[in-house]
Chain A
Amino acid sequence: MIMPLIKGLQITISHMFKKPVTLQYPTERPDVKPGFRGLHALNVSHDKAKCVACYLCPTVCPAKCITVEAGEDQNHDKYAAKYEIDMLRCIFCGYCVEACPVDAIRMTEQFELANYSRADFTYTKDRLLEKK
Chain B
Amino acid sequence: MDTLILGLPVAYYIAMVAKVLVAFVFVLLTVAYATYAERKIIGHMQVRLGPMRTGWHGLLQPIADGVKLFFKEEIVPSQASKFAFLIAPLVALIPAFISFAVIPFGDTVTIGGYTVPLQIAAYYDQAGKQVFDVNVGVLYILAMASLGVYGIVLAGWASNSKYSLLGGLRSAAQMISYELAAGLAIISVFMLSESLSLHKIVADQAGGAWYAFKQPLAFVIFFICSLAEINRTPFDLPEAETELVSGFCTEYSSMKYAMFFMAEYANMITVCAVTTTLFLGGWHGPAFLPGWFWFIAKVYFLIFLCMWIRATYPRYRYDQLMRLGWKVFLPLTLVNVMATGLWVMFISK
- The majority secondary structure among interface residues of chain A is helix
Contact A18 B308 (CB under 8 A): no
For B22-55 the 0/1 string (1 means CB < 8 A from A) is 0000000000000000000101111111001000
**Cβ of B309: which chain A residues have Cβ within 8 Å of it?**
9
Chain B residues near A (Cβ < 8 Å): 41, 43-49, 52, 308-309, 311-313
Contact B47 A20 (CB under 8 A): yes
CA separation between A18 and B48, bound complex, in Å? 9
CA separation between A16 and B311, bound complex, in Å? 10
CA separation between A19 and B43, bound complex, in Å? 11
For A1-39 the 0/1 string (1 means CB < 8 A from B) is 000010011011101101111101000000000000000
Residue of A nearest to B314 (CB): A8
Highest count of chain A CB atoms <10 Å: which of B46, B49, B52, B312: B312
Given A12-B311, A12-B312, residue A22 in contact with residue B48 (CB < 8 A)? yes
**Cβ of A15: which chain B residues have Cβ within 8 Å of it?**
44-47
Contact A20 B312 (CB under 8 A): no
CA separation between A8 and B312, bound complex, in Å? 6
Contact A13 B45 (CB under 8 A): yes
Contact A24 B52 (CB under 8 A): yes
Contact A20 B308 (CB under 8 A): no
Residue of A nearest to B41 (CB): A16
Given A12-B308, A22-B49, A24-B52, residue A5 in contact with residue B313 (CB < 8 A)? yes
**Cβ of A13: which chain B residues have Cβ within 8 Å of it?**
45, 308
Q: With A22-B47, A24-B49 given, name 20 new contacts (CB 8 A).
A: A5-B313, A8-B312, A9-B309, A9-B312, A11-B312, A12-B45, A12-B308, A12-B311, A12-B312, A15-B44, A15-B46, A16-B45, A18-B47, A19-B47, A20-B48, A20-B49, A21-B47, A22-B48, A22-B49, A24-B52
**Cβ of A9: which chain B residues have Cβ within 8 Å of it?**
308-309, 312
CA separation between A21 and B47, bound complex, in Å? 6
Contact B313 A20 (CB under 8 A): no
Sorted from nearest, which 6 A-B pairs have the closest CB atoms? A22-B49, A12-B312, A12-B45, A8-B312, A16-B44, A20-B49
Residue of B nearest to A13 (CB): B308
